[in-house]
Amino acid sequence: MTERRYLEDLAVGQITNTGCAVVSEAEMVEFATRYDPQPLHTNVEFASHGPFHGLVASGWHTAAIVMRLIVDARPMGGTPLLGLGVEDLRWPNPVRPGDELTAEIEVVSIAPSSSQPNYGAVRLKVTAQNKLGQVVFQMTPSVWIPRRPGE
Protein backbone atom coordinates (compact mmCIF):
# COMPACT_ATOMS: atom_id res chain seq x y z
CA MET A 1 0.00 0.00 0.00
CA THR A 2 1.19 3.50 -0.80
CA GLU A 3 2.22 5.64 2.15
CA ARG A 4 -0.37 8.16 3.32
CA ARG A 5 0.26 11.79 2.57
CA TYR A 6 -0.81 14.59 4.86
CA LEU A 7 -1.48 18.29 4.40
CA GLU A 8 2.09 19.05 5.48
CA ASP A 9 3.48 16.84 2.69
CA LEU A 10 1.90 18.94 -0.05
CA ALA A 11 3.19 22.09 -1.72
CA VAL A 12 1.53 24.67 -3.93
CA GLY A 13 2.64 24.06 -7.51
CA GLN A 14 3.15 20.34 -6.96
CA ILE A 15 2.11 18.38 -10.06
CA THR A 16 1.06 14.76 -10.49
CA ASN A 17 0.60 13.30 -13.95
CA THR A 18 -1.77 10.42 -14.51
CA GLY A 19 -1.61 7.38 -16.69
CA CYS A 20 -3.59 7.07 -19.90
CA ALA A 21 -7.13 5.91 -20.64
CA VAL A 22 -8.31 4.99 -24.13
CA VAL A 23 -11.97 5.77 -24.77
CA SER A 24 -13.76 3.28 -27.00
CA GLU A 25 -16.89 3.97 -29.02
CA ALA A 26 -18.69 1.07 -27.32
CA GLU A 27 -17.85 2.46 -23.88
CA MET A 28 -19.04 5.94 -24.90
CA VAL A 29 -22.35 4.64 -26.20
CA GLU A 30 -22.88 2.36 -23.21
CA PHE A 31 -22.28 5.17 -20.69
CA ALA A 32 -24.44 7.65 -22.58
CA THR A 33 -27.27 5.17 -23.13
CA ARG A 34 -27.40 4.70 -19.38
CA TYR A 35 -26.71 8.21 -18.07
CA ASP A 36 -26.87 10.85 -20.84
CA PRO A 37 -29.00 9.41 -23.65
CA GLN A 38 -28.63 12.18 -26.19
CA PRO A 39 -28.20 11.06 -29.82
CA LEU A 40 -24.90 12.92 -30.28
CA HIS A 41 -23.53 10.43 -27.69
CA THR A 42 -25.47 7.31 -28.72
CA ASN A 43 -26.31 7.43 -32.44
CA VAL A 44 -23.44 7.45 -34.95
CA GLU A 45 -25.64 8.48 -37.89
CA PHE A 46 -27.32 11.35 -36.02
CA ALA A 47 -23.98 12.51 -34.58
CA SER A 48 -22.35 12.58 -38.03
CA HIS A 49 -24.77 15.39 -38.98
CA GLY A 50 -24.55 17.16 -35.62
CA PRO A 51 -22.43 20.07 -34.39
CA PHE A 52 -19.35 17.88 -33.72
CA HIS A 53 -19.55 15.98 -37.05
CA GLY A 54 -19.28 12.65 -35.28
CA LEU A 55 -19.96 10.76 -32.08
CA VAL A 56 -18.64 12.42 -28.91
CA ALA A 57 -18.49 11.27 -25.31
CA SER A 58 -20.85 12.67 -22.72
CA GLY A 59 -19.05 15.25 -20.63
CA TRP A 60 -20.06 13.25 -17.57
CA HIS A 61 -18.37 10.20 -19.03
CA THR A 62 -15.22 12.27 -19.53
CA ALA A 63 -15.46 13.43 -15.90
CA ALA A 64 -15.78 9.82 -14.72
CA ILE A 65 -12.77 8.72 -16.77
CA VAL A 66 -10.68 11.60 -15.41
CA MET A 67 -11.75 10.74 -11.86
CA ARG A 68 -10.52 7.20 -12.41
CA LEU A 69 -7.20 8.53 -13.75
CA ILE A 70 -6.86 10.71 -10.63
CA VAL A 71 -7.62 7.86 -8.23
CA ASP A 72 -5.16 5.56 -10.01
CA ALA A 73 -2.43 8.26 -9.93
CA ARG A 74 -2.78 8.52 -6.12
CA PRO A 75 -1.73 12.18 -5.79
CA MET A 76 -2.30 11.94 -2.03
CA GLY A 77 -0.57 8.58 -1.72
CA GLY A 78 -2.69 6.20 0.34
CA THR A 79 -4.83 9.02 1.73
CA PRO A 80 -8.37 8.86 0.30
CA LEU A 81 -9.61 11.76 -1.82
CA LEU A 82 -12.55 13.23 0.06
CA GLY A 83 -14.17 15.80 -2.17
CA LEU A 84 -15.53 19.06 -0.78
CA GLY A 85 -16.78 20.43 -4.09
CA VAL A 86 -15.81 21.66 -7.53
CA GLU A 87 -15.54 25.38 -8.31
CA ASP A 88 -15.22 25.09 -12.05
CA LEU A 89 -15.90 22.35 -14.58
CA ARG A 90 -15.33 22.72 -18.32
CA TRP A 91 -15.28 20.60 -21.47
CA PRO A 92 -13.43 22.83 -23.99
CA ASN A 93 -13.10 20.12 -26.66
CA PRO A 94 -15.06 16.92 -27.27
CA VAL A 95 -13.76 13.42 -26.57
CA ARG A 96 -14.04 11.12 -29.58
CA PRO A 97 -13.84 7.36 -30.02
CA GLY A 98 -10.23 6.18 -29.75
CA ASP A 99 -9.02 9.25 -27.85
CA GLU A 100 -6.26 8.63 -25.34
CA LEU A 101 -6.72 10.82 -22.26
CA THR A 102 -4.17 11.84 -19.65
CA ALA A 103 -4.50 14.36 -16.86
CA GLU A 104 -2.34 16.71 -14.84
CA ILE A 105 -3.22 17.42 -11.21
CA GLU A 106 -1.74 20.61 -9.75
CA VAL A 107 -1.95 21.74 -6.13
CA VAL A 108 -3.28 25.32 -6.30
CA SER A 109 -3.78 26.15 -2.62
CA ILE A 110 -3.48 24.58 0.82
CA ALA A 111 -5.40 25.84 3.84
CA PRO A 112 -5.56 24.31 7.32
CA SER A 113 -9.12 24.16 8.62
CA SER A 114 -10.01 26.61 11.36
CA SER A 115 -13.00 24.54 12.50
CA GLN A 116 -11.40 21.08 12.20
CA PRO A 117 -7.74 21.47 13.24
CA ASN A 118 -6.86 17.90 12.24
CA TYR A 119 -7.73 18.60 8.58
CA GLY A 120 -7.20 21.05 5.79
CA ALA A 121 -8.55 21.85 2.36
CA VAL A 122 -6.46 21.45 -0.77
CA ARG A 123 -7.61 23.07 -3.99
CA LEU A 124 -6.47 21.31 -7.15
CA LYS A 125 -6.50 22.19 -10.83
CA VAL A 126 -7.12 19.16 -13.02
CA THR A 127 -6.53 19.40 -16.75
CA ALA A 128 -7.09 16.44 -19.10
CA GLN A 129 -6.03 16.31 -22.70
CA ASN A 130 -6.12 13.94 -25.63
CA LYS A 131 -3.07 12.60 -27.47
CA LEU A 132 -3.14 15.65 -29.78
CA GLY A 133 -2.64 17.90 -26.76
CA GLN A 134 -6.16 19.34 -26.93
CA VAL A 135 -7.64 20.11 -23.52
CA VAL A 136 -10.86 18.10 -23.19
CA PHE A 137 -11.65 18.62 -19.50
CA GLN A 138 -10.79 21.05 -16.70
CA MET A 139 -11.97 21.28 -13.13
CA THR A 140 -10.94 22.93 -9.88
CA PRO A 141 -11.93 20.59 -7.05
CA SER A 142 -11.24 20.97 -3.33
CA VAL A 143 -10.40 17.94 -1.22
CA TRP A 144 -10.31 17.35 2.54
CA ILE A 145 -6.91 16.08 3.70
CA PRO A 146 -5.86 15.09 7.22
CA ARG A 147 -3.00 16.86 8.95
CA ARG A 148 -0.05 14.85 10.17
CA PRO A 149 -0.89 13.41 13.60
CA GLY A 150 0.82 15.31 16.41
CA GLU A 151 1.44 18.48 14.44
Express each pLDDT in 47-74 by its tens digit. 999 999 999 999 999 999 999 999 999 9
Domain assignments of the chain as residue spans, ordered by start: 7-146
Cα of 80 vs its chain's centroid, Å: 15
Superfamily of domain 7-146: Hotdog Thioesterase (3.10.129.10)
Residues of the chain under the 70 pLDDT cut: 1, 151
Model confidence pTM above 0.75: yes
Q: Which helix (H) or strand (E) holds 85?
A: strand 82-90
- Quick one: pLDDT at residue 150? 79
71, 87, 70, 72: which is closest to 127 by C-alpha?
70
Instruction: Give the pLDDT score at 79.
Output: 92
pLDDT value for 151: 65
